[in-house]
Structure 1
Amino acid sequence: MTDAPATLLAAQADRAMVAAMLARAFAEDPAMCFIFTDPVVRAKRSARLFGLLFDQDAAAGMRLVTAGGAAATFWRGPGRSHTSRLDMVRSAGPMLHALGGGLMRALAVSDAIDAHLPKGDYWYLHIAGCDPAMQGRGLGKAAVQAGLDRIAGSGLPTYLETPLEHNIGFYRGLGFDLTAEWQVAKGGPRFWSMMRPA
């Protein structure tokens, strides 16, 4: 890729577009398939869920989107990786509306992710996705790299987890190292934790 597409801070006006794109991007994601076992329900409810995560990550860090909305990343700043109890209470109604029958499975995934978050200060790449129709053009990489460039001066490492083994090579190409492999209880998906040094 010679010219990286423009990646900008996402505005509130981008919420519906980004949430719908992420629902498409994560349609076959193992964690989403575990939470929403029915693909029709998944298509309907996952956009609601990503809309809520879009809102939460506005206060926790930053949200980036490529021009045209084909790729997006949500980042949580140092000390903001965990969702606070207050945020959980505030979003309980909307989360129940988004998750429906997938609530308990979503809590299992969330609890497992929280249990494997590293100690100390770091940036957390919470969500990264690219519209399936636009994959293979370097847009996802550009969206991640734009975030890494923005936090480069912090002197802190960056953490992520992925339930897709084929993502490991993609993130290694961006400087991340594999640090752990683990599985969500009760038949949940396997995840890989990765850290990029400061």
Structure 2
Amino acid sequence: MTHAATVDAAVAIRPAVSADRRRIITSLSAAFAGDPAMRYVFPRDRQRQRHLPRLFAMLYDSDADCGRRLVSCDGAAATLWRAPGLTDNAARFGWWQRMLSLWRFGEGMSRAYRLGHAIEAHFPARPTWYLHIAGCAPWAQGKGLGAAAVRAGLQRIGDASVYLETANANNLGFYRNLGFDVTGRWHVPDGGPEFWSMQRGG
């Protein structure tokens, strides 16, 4: 057994409660600060720093009744899941429409639309669980928290199909170690980031 597996096995992951909301938003905002998709939508550092907490607050709230929200006990790592049957176009990508309310003067709207439409176009046709968001705050990485948070969701789901997409090539090995395979590779049109579709089970 590797040291990472030992650490991972000892991490307690539980369903998120209302008291976790602020910590989860802070952790996810920090985790995605350098993500290519977020850098595409929010190109300027100060702009991204200002908008990410508002974005992740909306994502966290929108997933309340759609599946599961899991968190490590310290709030540093979290995963947001959407269940099959709750991943049609309206439920799956409604948060991209709500995301546009972040800009009252058109800031980032065209990039957000392109990103949302590209994600929708590559989503599997058959019903599947959707690992909507998975992140671990930079100050807590390397401790197995992120892997534990994903594994906890996979254990609850069992053998059902699970889908995710990532714009960060560094995530590919992480998800492969959790049983995901790359099923597609694509770009957001008009100079957007490269994405990988990944699936597990089913």
Within 5 A, what are the aligned runs for 1:149-160?
A: 149-152=155-158, 155-160=159-164
Q: Does 1:188 align with 2:192?
A: yes
**Alpha-carbon deviations, 1:5-27, whole Å to 9, x = none?**
11111112222211111110000
TM-score of the pair, normalised by structure 2? 0.89
The one-letter code of the counterpart of 2:185 is E
Percent identity, aligned pairs only, is 48
Match of 1:144, SS state, is: helix
CA deviation profile, 1:107-163 (whole Å, cap 9, x unmatched):
2111110110001111110100000011111000000000000111xx421100100
Q: Which residue of 2 aligns with 1:60?
A: 66
- Give the total of aligned pairs: 194
Matches of 1:132 and 1:11, distance apart in 2: 22
Give the drift of 1:88: 3.9
Q: Which runs of 4+ in 1 moved over 3 A?
A: none
Residue identity matched to 2:178: L
Aligned equivalents of 2:94 and 2:131: distance in 1? 20
Gaps of 5+ in 2: none
Structure 1 gap ranges (5+): none
The structure-2 alpha-carbon separation of the partners of 1:178 and 1:88, relative to structure 1 and needing over 3 Å to count, comes to closer
Q: Structure 1: how far apart are the matches of 2:74 and 2:190? A: 39
TM-score by length of 1: 0.91
- In 1, distance between residues paired with 2:19 and 2:110? 31
1:177 equivalent in alignment to 2:185: no
* Cα displacement (A) at 1:98: 6.4
Structure 2 match to 1:130: 136
Distance 2:132 2:182 in 1: 16
Counterpart Cα distance in 2 of 1:37 and 1:5: 35
Change (3 A) 1:98 1:196: farther
Q: CA deviation at 1:95?
A: 4.4
User: Contact (CA 8 Å) 1:46, 1:98: kept in 2 or not?
Assistant: no
Provide the C-alpha distance between the structure 2 equivalents of 1:56 and 1:98, rounded to a whole number of angstroms. Answer: 18
SS at match of 1:58: coil
- Please tell me whether the aligned partners of residues 184 and 198 of structure 2 are also in contact (alpha carbons under 8 angstroms): yes
CA distance in 1, matches of 2:103, 2:166: 22
Partner-residue secondary structure (3-state), 2:84:
coil
> 1:84 — aligned with what?
90
**Counterpart-to-counterpart distance in 2, 1:4 and 1:53:** 28
SS at match of 2:39: helix
The answer on whether the counterparts of 1:49 and 1:98 sit within 8 Å (CA) in structure 2 is no
Root-mean-square deviation (Å)? 2.1
Q: Residue type matched to 1:167 in 2?
A: N
Residue 97 (structure 1) aligned with residue 102 (structure 2): yes
Distance 2:175 2:17 in 1: 26
User: 2-side partners of 1:13 and 1:95: how far apart?
Assistant: 27
